[in-house]
Amino acid sequence: MDVERLLKFDRISKKFFIPSLIFIVTLFAILTLINISINKAMLHSQMGKRGSAMANYMAKTSVFYYINYDLGALDSFVQEVIKDPDVVYAVFYDDKEKPLTVSSKKPEQTSELLNYDVEIKDDVGKTIGLLSLGYSPKAITEAVRNGVWIMLLTMTVALILLSVGITLAVRKFIIQPLGKAVVVAQTLTEGDLTVHIEEAGRDEIGQLISAFKNMVEKLKTLMSQVSSVTISVYSRAKDISVSVEQQATVSTEQSAAVEEITTTMEELSASSTQIAEHAKAVVDIATRTWENTKKGATAVETISLKMNEIQTDNQNSIQEIVDLGRKSKEISKVMEIINTIADQTKLIAFNAALEASSAGESGKRFGVVAVEIRRLADSVMESTGEIESKINEIQEAINSLVIASEKGARGIREGMEHSDQTASLLLNIVDDAQATQESAKQISLSTQQQKTASNQVVTALREIASGAKQTSTSIQQIIGISRNLTDLSDSLKGQVEKFKIE
């Protein structure tokens, strides 16, 4: 049971700590393997360099013994070398690979050893023998084993320290703030909204606690509003109950009044028959009057439409005349510009004639051209003067025409005003006649319907009396419902009061 509980990720510390621990253990294991491989390679390299150096040293030192064929010295040399615990064997051979020493022999299985074979040469470079040297890799294995133990010990201590650090950090920065949030939530479930919530930083936990704080403030506001509404509902429910009881009393009184109204309506039905006969004659007279006034109003409306068309045409004509006058004024402005240009042209031509006369023979032709230009400018000015006089005559005629058109428009407007007044009066007469006809019809129809309506009213009043009894019964039911509503609002008020707001 304890094992199952331990394996369950039911706490944040487990959810955070166990994956972190697995990741760190895996990382340390990978680093350990990499370190072992590197150390092994380094030790193997160092052992290889050592063995190679020893073999070369022995080969060079033994040259003298080979030349003197001093086998005892070679064997003593081998004995000194094999005293090293890492040296497995050391054998000197002659040039035919025959062993010359007996203190050490080369084993048959050398695949697991570090083997070094070095040729022994004399001063002229001739091969006179061979050295075979073998080293044991036990030192490397032992060093690697020691390194593994050291690494495991280091990793264990580091894991313990890291686990303690992670546990303390998770407890301080996650577990404790979340524990406070849980306490706040439990307090809220008990209805206590006065709980004090402290800020817990700006991280996600702090944001969660800030959200709790905002929620509590909003709940306080909401419960205050609900409390106020509950009290109001309770008060209104009592008022409704009192009002319904008053309506029950009024309903009883209305039932008695309906019986009296029924008797009165039977008497009214007898008098409505005579009124209907007189109203029918009034309807016939009103109909004839309405038809005649409607024809007269139609004729006046036709006259008014024609007068409107005449006024529109007259306004368009006046506008066209005004536009013509404005354009003639614009032509006058253009003619002034032309006269100005002609004056300047005459001045330029005069200056040109002066220049031509001062130039002598070479300026005669130019003087002729200047004279012609002055003559042309004079002609232009005469023409523009004639055009200006014609334009002035046109403008005077336009002004006279505008005055005459305005007089005509004034007469048209007066005629339209009189026709509109006449049409308005006739339309009022038509409306009055139509209203009279409709009123007469309504009176006739009303009087015809009054008898039937009075009978229906009597029947309806009897039904109203029956309905009043049903209303009284319904009101009694409403009284019961209002009392239930009062009880429910009182219960809701008690539930709201369970929350501590202040």
pLDDT digits (tens, 9 = 90+) for 432-470: 767 876 876 787 787 777 767 767 776 876 777 677 677
- Looking at residues 381-386, what average pLDDT do you find? 80
What's the confidence (pLDDT) of residue 1? 47
Nearest to 64 by CA among 51, 56, 74: 74
Distances (CA, A) of 338 to 17, 335, 341, 387: 104, 5, 5, 11
What's the confidence (pLDDT) of residue 473? 78
Report the C-alpha gap between 217 and 225 in whole angstroms: 13
Given the structure tokens 């046109």, which residue do they identify? 394
What's the confidence (pLDDT) of residue 92? 92
Residue 99 pLDDT > 80: yes
- Higher pLDDT among residues 372 and 426, named by residue: 372
Domain edges within the chain = 11-164, 224-497
- Looking at residues 43-58, what average pLDDT do you find? 81
> What pTM does this model have?
0.31
What's the confidence (pLDDT) of residue 382? 82
Residue 185 pLDDT > 60: yes
Would you identify the CATH topology of the domain 224-497?
Answer: Helix Hairpins (1.10.287)
- Looking at residues 122-145, what average pLDDT do you find? 82
- Looking at residues 181-206, what average pLDDT do you find? 69
What's the confidence (pLDDT) of residue 15? 58
Contacts with 425 (C-beta within 8 Å, 6 or more apart), sequence order: none
Query: Quick one: CA torsion of 109, 115, 118, 119, rounded to 10 degrees?
Result: 20
- Looking at residues 284-299, what average pLDDT do you find? 74
- Higher pLDDT among residues 79 and 428, named by residue: 79
Contact 237, 479 (CB under 8 A): no
- Looking at residues 65-81, what average pLDDT do you find? 89
Report the C-alpha gap between 460 and 20 in whole angstroms: 88
Nearest to 180 by CA among 148, 210, 203, 156: 210
What's the confidence (pLDDT) of residue 386? 82
Report the C-alpha gap between 213 and 220 in whole angstroms: 11
Residue 403 pLDDT > 80: yes
11-40 per-position pLDDT tens digit: 665 556 666 667 777 877 787 778 777 776
Residue 10 pLDDT > 60: no
Contact 248, 478 (CB under 8 A): no
Report the C-alpha gap between 47 and 111 in whole angstroms: 16
245-255 per-position pLDDT tens digit: 777 777 677 66
Name residue 358's amino acid.
S
Q: Where are the alpha helices (DSSP H) in 68-137?
A: 71-81
User: In the CATH hierarchy, which top-level class contains the domain 11-164?
Assistant: alpha beta
What is the side-by-side strand order in the sheet with 114-121?
A: 87-94, 127-135, 114-121
Residue 417 pLDDT > 50: yes
To the nearest whole percent, how much of the chain has pLDDT over 90?
2
Residue 118 pLDDT > 80: yes
User: Which of the four pLDDT bands, split at 50, 70 and 90, describes residue 106?
Assistant: confident
What's the confidence (pLDDT) of residue 2? 53
Name residue 286's amino acid.
A
Residue 191: in which H helix or E strand, if any? none
Across the chain, what does the average pLDDT equal?
A: 76
468-479 per-position pLDDT tens digit: 677 777 777 777
Nearest to 236 by CA among 434, 429, 463, 485: 485
352-364 per-position pLDDT tens digit: 777 777 777 766 6
Contacts with 411 (C-beta within 8 Å, 6 or more apart), sequence order: none
- Looking at residues 175-184, what average pLDDT do you find? 70
C-alpha count within 13 angstroms, C-beta hemisphere, residue 432: 7
35-44 per-position pLDDT tens digit: 777 776 776 7
- Looking at residues 370-384, what average pLDDT do you find? 79
What's the confidence (pLDDT) of residue 228? 77
Which of 88-92, 94-98, 338-342 has the lowest average pLDDT?
338-342
- Looking at residues 491-500, what average pLDDT do you find? 68
Residue 42, Cβ neighbours under 10 Å: how many?
A: 12
What's the confidence (pLDDT) of residue 275? 64
- Looking at residues 399-425, what average pLDDT do you find? 76
Name residue 385's amino acid.
G
Report the C-alpha gap between 229 and 227 in whole angstroms: 5
- Higher pLDDT among residues 127 and 268, named by residue: 127
Nearest to 230 by CA among 479, 486, 481, 483: 486
